[in-house]
Amino acid sequence: MNNTLVKTIGKLINTASYLSPSYAAKIAVDLFSTPRKGKLHTEELKYLKSAKQKTFVYDGINIHTYQWQGANKTILLVHGWESNTYRWNDLIELLQAEDYNIVALDAPGHGNSGHKTFNAVLYSECINMVAQEFKPDVIIGHSIGGTASALATNNNKLPIEKLIMLGAPSNFDEVIENYVNIMGYNKRVIKAMNDYYMKHFGKLPSFYAFKNFSEHITAEGLIIHDKKDRIISYRDALQISKYYKNSKLVKTQGFGHGLKNEIVYNHILEFLNA
């Protein structure tokens, strides 16, 4: 959406908050949670046909998975917001060359998976469901997929050996705060949104900070984050590193939030083979 449209929608939701704060909050949360991108295109679908595909159901939601079978350890790939499994195609080819058993999933509302909305807590439960099925040794997550993977690993004490987080936010609260600032929401909408999260999740977004869900993560960690990431600040990587004691932080520069670069892939492969 262009900036003018964003501000107009923000003003309309602000106006609605004076009539019904709960209704305004629902609209705001739904807008925040509904991906506009991430569906698969023809070229991407063609590529993914090379994988063995299976659909699982979590709480009535179809979660689509892909597997490229190999004799080496099992790696679970977890994409981020408004993306899908195809974003891993370059890394998949490198992992296939080393005969890794590769599994990936499309998040709710993304790729071939069902549902209209997305949130990181729901995503973490879907990650756990897929992990229980495929028993990965390693999880690699990009952006919110990295944070949701950490949440799934901690809450369910997944017995993985290694966790790789690429451009991941350190907490969900800042992600929502960025959205609030972009939309220009007033204090009534912000309060109503917090009430909405308490009602539906039992916790405020501020609870979902890495420092609050890292206690049970025993996997060796690799954090890769670009200094010039304009989507998720490099400060988030420093925050994760502070609380993720058994981890290594790699700073890159010039690869942006996507981190789709041979140098990044080499860091990943070195970490996997160490």
> Does 5 lie in the same domain as 96?
no
> Does 115 lie in the same domain as 249?
yes
Average pLDDT of the chain?
95
Backbone angles phi, psi at 40, to 5 degrees: -85, 140
**How confident is the model over 80-124, as pLDDT tens digits?**
999 999 999 999 999 999 999 999 999 999 999 999 999 999 999
> Does 263 lie in the same domain as 230?
yes
Would you say the C-alpha torsion 115, 60, 174, 150 has a positive or negative sign?
Answer: negative
> Does 144 lie in the same domain as 81?
yes
> Does 246 lie in the same domain as 199?
no
Backbone angles phi, psi at 53, to 5 degrees: -115, 145
> Does 222 lie in the same domain as 161?
yes
CA distance 232 to 250: 15
Q: How much is the pLDDT for 33? A: 94
Q: Which domain holds residue 16?
A: 1-33+172-207
CA-to-CA dists, residue 57 to 54, 62, 107, 113, 145, angstroms: 10, 5, 12, 10, 19
The answer to whether the CB of 149 falls within 8 A of the CB of 124 is yes
CA distance 192 to 24: 8
> Does 241 lie in the same domain as 164?
yes
Q: How much is the pLDDT for 175? A: 87
**pLDDT above 70: percentage of residues in the chain:** 100
Q: Which residue has the tokens 């308490």?
A: 198
CA distance 164 to 184: 34
> Does 48 lie in the same domain as 11?
no
CA distance 127 to 137: 14
User: Nearest-CA neighbor of 171 among 225, 233, 217?
Assistant: 233
pLDDT at 2 over 80: no
Which pair of structure tokens corresponds to residue 40? Answer: 């698969």
User: Nearest-CA neighbor of 169 among 147, 192, 187, 188?
Assistant: 147
**Helical pair 187-201 and 21-33, crossing angle rounded to 10 deg:** 70
> Does 230 lie in the same domain as 94?
yes
> Does 3 lie in the same domain as 48?
no
> Does 163 lie in the same domain as 43?
yes
Domains: count for the chain: 2
**How confident is the model over 195-247, as pLDDT tens digits?**
999 998 898 988 999 999 999 999 999 999 999 999 999 999 999 999 999 99
> Does 61 lie in the same domain as 18?
no
List alpha helices for the chain, DSSP H. Answer: 3-19, 21-33, 42-48, 89-97, 120-134, 144-155, 172-183, 187-201, 234-243, 262-273
Which residue type does 259 have? L
Q: Which residue has the tokens 């080496």?
A: 72
**How confident is the model over 21-69, as pLDDT tens digits?**
999 999 999 999 999 899 999 999 999 999 999 999 999 999 999 999 9
Least confident of 26-30, 90-94, 170-174, 251-255: 170-174
- Strand 61-68 and strand 52-58: the pairing is antiparallel
Q: How much is the pLDDT for 1? A: 64
